Structure 1
Amino acid sequence: MTISFKNTYKFAVVSSLYITLFSSGLVALLTYIFFSFSLSFILCFALAIAIFSFFVMQYRVEHFIYRRVKKIYDDVSLLESSNFRNQPITTDMATLTREVKKFATDKKLEIEMLKVREEYRREFLGNVSHELKTPLFTVQGYISTLLEGGMNDKTIRKKYLERAEKGVERLIYIVQDLDMITKLEAGDLNIEMVPFNIVSLVQNVFDLLEMEASKKDILLLFDMKYNKPIMVIGDREKIEQVVINLVVNSIKYGKEKGSTEVSIENLTDDKVIVRVKDNGEGIEAKNISRLFERFFRVDKSGARSQGGSGLGLSIVKHIIEAHQERIYIESEFGVGSEFSFTLKKAK
């Protein structure tokens, strides 16, 4: 730990100069009055006083101020050892003030960030508890009814067991989705990059979800006819999950007799952008920034009745980011939404 005292030299020189001028003037006056005046004596006296004053002032300043400044550094370094331990101790008050002010500002920002994270953690735990509690209580209720005598009625037994099975399936979906997000965040989920035809992948998703869309008379279609394959690079299974989640959301929150349109466009020479557009209820601007949070639902009252784990968009975001790509959203409340993501072209 190095020590810098350059600014104290100036302080000591000026202070000793004042002392020397006063002492020399006083001695000169006294010798003139009481003794014979000697210029050489006065100069030697002034030099001796100047040197003595300088060293006394410098020593006192260094040790008196340094001890207190060092205590400030030691106290602060207990909180931020990574920054202050590697910095030289300075007795310059302006530098010290600037460093402590910067430290206080950084700590304030860190505290604010921790508050935000704590709020997010509480909300997340509350959401997890609610998502797990609902199907658990449902399953428990049906099983309790069966154990209390309902199993003697074949009709009730079958109906309640089927409903209990659906509750268990929802629990499995939530746990599987949470496990996937955890692995994606930790980088433990393998991404197998292979070339594939994004057009045929989207068509497969349409075929898979056709019956689901037909329940609300929603039309699944491309924006145009794609006669040639469009080859991209990525994990085909994970990208298929992305498209499924986006199309399922467009169906879930789409309006009756609406449509979900997918377009695939050239973004740059080496990238394409896949757009999933619907004419559903849209999303209010205040909610757009939170859409990719775990368990966040725009319509908290009715969204859970739509099923799902509440983790779909969060998984979509993590999968796209695991491919080093970007996902975007544009939405107008009451008009519809468009989710889009980029993929690298296959060479």
Structure 2
Amino acid sequence: MKLKTKLIVAFMSVMILPMIFMTVVMHTFAPREVGELQQLYMIVVFITTTMLIYWIYRSVSLPLAKLQKAARNIKEGNLDFEIRQESDDEIGQLCQDFEEMRLRLKANAEEKVAFDRENKELISNISHDLKTPITAIKGYVEGIMDGVADTPEKMDRYIKTIYNKANEMDLLINELTLYSKIDTNRIPYNFTTISAKDYFGDCGEDLHMELESKGVEFTYRNDMEEDCKVIVDPEQLRRVINNIVSNSLKYMDKPNGKVTMEVKDVGDFIQIELGDNGKGIAAKDLPYIFDRFYRTDASRNSSKGGSGIGLSIVKKIVEEHGGNIWATSEEGAGTTMYFVIRKYQEVSIDE
């Protein structure tokens, strides 16, 4: 019962109903009997008023006591409690609103704890992965300073190694900067309508040249029609493909590495498949490979390095294109990454 209704009932019980009762009594009973009935009436009114006041007080005071205790818990940072709505009046609705606020505060607090933990892990990972090339650069520079590189061939090899290690550091820093922009939704996407066949064909040519120089066999297939178009950010979507292929090369454990790329028409979507014949991913790890900071090799001594955010960046970019990404894998046989993006379809003015 609403609080307003309770007050109306109390008012009716204390004021209006007694007046009606007295009017009926005065017109029905003799004056002597009316006096006795008035005394009885005063007793009944007192008892009724007391019970009504207690009823209203109890319906207000108990929920307020719960809210006061809840507010004290929140002030002290304790959010592990529950406020139950035990009535459907205004106080009960206030309890429900208070409970929803508590749940939201708890969710925000848990999200902040998770965010802080992930940031600490990111800093730890990046620090470790930056330390490795920095140590190598210092070692080779000291070798040059001490005269260890005493031949042109050695000097050339030392300088190339220093250059490669500096590139590794640059890639890590760029990855961290990109992740920061993605995580705060500050990537300036430049979407444009382009031919799917031409765009992915260019990506395939670039991959062929890159992989050939690394001794990796590359196979490309594109079944798209010439007039099929997509709305994408060419630079960011190319980053998706490059990140996936780089990940394949990082975990390639066979002397004759193979990478495949296939573009398919799947109705309203275009599906891109990027496969390899690497060491594969364990079934227990497969559901988590797109999570931030997740690494299938938990050891920081792994020579593979990596901050653990490469595939999470890939997932974010694909989803920002309105698509989806997933993977299949078999240990010892290889991994295939799939992602889909929607085709561009012109809509008539009438539609």
TM-score greater than 0.5 by the shorter chain? yes
Q: Residue in 2 aligned with 1:28?
A: none
Structure 2, gaps ≥5 residues long:
15-31, 76-84, 346-351
Which residue, 65, 73, 76 being the options, matches 2:67? 73
1:285 aligned counterpart, secondary structure? coil
Q: Taking structure 1 as reference, are residues 62 and 139 closer, same or farther at Cα in structure 2, changes over 3 Å only?
A: farther
Q: CA deviation at 1:173?
A: 0.9
Report if the CA contact (8 A) 1:202-1:243 is conserved: no
Q: Deviations over 1:268-306 (max 9, x none)?
A: 33x212122333322122222332244533235599535
Q: What is the identity, as a one-letter code, of the residue corresponding to 1:263?
A: E
Residue aligning to 1:222: 220
Q: Which amino acid aligns with 2:232?
A: G
State yes or no: 1:245 paired with 2:259: no
The answer (yes or no) to whether the contact 2:204–2:261 under 8 Å persists in 1 is no
Aligned to 2:262: 263
Match of 2:229 in 1: 231
Aligned to 2:79: none
Give TM-score scaled by structure 1 length.
0.70
State how 1:124-139 maps to structure 2 within 5 Å.
Answer: 124-139=122-137
Query: Quick one: distance in 2 between partners of 1:303 and 1:329?
Result: 26
Where 1:257 maps in the other structure, the secondary structure is: coil
Aligned residues: 315
Aligned residues of 1:135 and 1:170 also touching (Cα < 8 A): yes
Match of 2:50 among 40, 48, 56: 56
1:235 to 1:107, Cα distance in 2 relative to 1, 3 A? closer
Counterpart contact for 1:216–1:257, Cα < 8 Å: no
Out of 31, 38, 44, the position equivalent to 2:38 is 44
Candidates 167, 174, 177, aligned match of 1:176: 174
| 2:185 equivalent in structure 1 | 187
Aligned-partner SS, 2:339 = strand
**CA deviation string 1:145-170 (max 9, x = no partner):** 43455477655544333322222211
Paired with 1:151 and 1:51, the residues of 2 have a C-alpha distance of 108
Residues 258 and 279 in structure 1, CA contact (< 8 A), matched pair in contact too: yes
How far is 1:212 from its partner?
A: 5.1
Deviation, 1:234, is 0.7
Answer 1 or 2: which has greater helix percent.
1
Change (3 A) 1:256 1:161: closer
Change over 3 Å in CA distance of 1:224–1:167 after alignment to 2: closer
**Following TM superposition, by how much is the alpha carbon of 1:334 offset from its aligned partner in structure 2, in angstroms?**
3.2
> Contact 2:6 / 2:56 at 8 angstroms: preserved in 1?
no
3-state SS in 1 of match to 2:303: helix
Name the CA distance, whole Å, in 2 between partners of 1:297 and 1:109: 26
Call closer, same or farther: CA 1:302–1:70 in 2, change over 3 Å: closer
* Stretches of structure 1 lacking an aligned partner (at least 5 in a row): 17-37, 81-86
User: Residue 278 of structure 1: which of 266, 276, 279 is its match?
Assistant: 276
Counterpart residue type for residue 281 of structure 1: K
SS in 2 for 1:289: helix
For residue 305 of structure 1, give the secondary structure of its aligned residue in structure 2. coil
How does the TM-score come out when normalised to structure 2?
0.70
Q: What percent identity do the matched residue pairs reach?
A: 23
The 1:54/1:142 distance shift into structure 2, 3 A limit, reads farther
Relative distance call for 1:124 and 1:54 in structure 2 (3 A) is farther
**In structure 2, distance between residues paired with 1:344 and 1:91:** 50
Provide, for residues 305-334 of structure 1, a one-character-per-residue CA deviation record: whole Å limited to 9, x for no partner: 357665432221222122232222222333
Q: Which residue of 2 aligns with 1:320?
A: 318
Could you say if the C-alpha distance between residues 108 and 244 of structure 1 is closer, same or farther in structure 2, counting changes exceeding 3 Å? closer
Using the TM superposition, give the Cα deviation of residue 192 of structure 1 relative to its aligned residue in structure 2, in angstroms: 1.6
8 A Cα contact 1:200 1:229, kept in partner: no
Distance 1:252 1:154 in 2: 31
Cα root mean square deviation, aligned: 4.2
